[in-house]
Amino acid sequence: MSSGPPDSGATGEVLLEARFDRRIIPYTRLWITGFLVITVAGILLIPFWLIFSLWYLPEHYRRLSARLTARAVEIRKGVFFRKESTIPLNRITDVRLHDGPLMRHYGVRGLHVETAGQSGQNASSEGDLVGVVDAVEFRDAILRQREAALSGEASPAPTQPSTASPDTAELLTEIRDILTRIERQGRGDDSR
């Protein structure tokens, strides 16, 4: 995890950025190859997958990122279909670590962020990450920040000003008048 100079994200100051282990590349290559071996039709695809994975998996690794901000966990991943997820801390119910025999062989761990309204072993989530370096530390940081956010210690969301500036009020009045004229023209009522 790098805790270099904090910058500001859409959901507040970046507190911690996850780093990912390059060992997820051979892990994923072997996992998918194993899946293709299990399926009879997939055996024919193995040579194509192995060649394709030489480009795809490093690219997937390069585009993988996760960061903890003051109010959320932000996750970006994907090559062809890119996903950007923002999981508010107040919706996180649990952060689980997982590793199977193949993951342990490659020394990688998975992190699963559970949110309100989802549960169970096979519940899909935008918060599934495999290969986070120091996954325990990242999980603990998320849970600590979640507790701080729930107890009100986290920096509050910026509030809108209670009064609009005179320029803004004038602009809004002008927009309202234009919309009223457009509505009247649509009804064929040109009278004021």
Residue partners of 77: CB distance under 8 A and separation at least 6: 60, 63, 64, 65, 83
Residue 3 lies in a domain: no
Residue 130 lies in a domain: yes
Domain check: are 63 and 130 in the same one? Answer: yes
Residue 177 lies in a domain: yes
For residue 47, give the CATH number of its domain. Answer: 2.30.29.30
Number of domains in the chain: 2
Helix locations, the chain, DSSP H: 24-38, 46-62, 101-106, 135-150, 166-187
pTM of the model: 0.68
79 burial class (0-12, 13-18, 19+ CB within 10 angstroms)? Answer: middle
Domain check: are 102 and 188 in the same one? Answer: no
Domain check: are 110 and 181 in the same one? Answer: no
d(Cα 150, Cα 91) in Å, to the nearest integer?
10
Q: Quote the domain boundaries for residue 114.
A: 8-150
| pLDDT per residue of the chain (192 residues) written in tens, 0 to 9 | 444 444 555 667 888 999 999 999 999 999 999 999 999 888 999 999 999 999 999 999 999 999 999 999 999 999 999 999 899 998 888 899 999 999 999 999 999 988 887 655 555 566 889 999 999 999 999 999 999 888 875 444 444 444 556 778 788 888 888 888 888 887 765 555
Task: State the residue for tokens 């609009």.
Answer: 164
Read off the amino acid at residue 51.
Answer: I
d(Cα 168, Cα 32) in Å, to the nearest integer?
56
Tokens describing residue 38:
């299990």
Residue 155 lies in a domain: no
Residue 1 lies in a domain: no
Residue 25 lies in a domain: yes
Domain check: are 125 and 184 in the same one? Answer: no
Domain check: are 30 and 105 in the same one? Answer: yes
Domain check: are 190 and 142 in the same one? Answer: no
Q: Report the DSSP pairing between strands 65-69 and 12-17.
A: antiparallel
Residue 67 lies in a domain: yes
Domain check: are 144 and 81 in the same one? Answer: yes
Residue 175 lies in a domain: yes
pLDDT per residue over 123-148, tens digit each?
Answer: 556 688 999 999 999 999 999 999 98
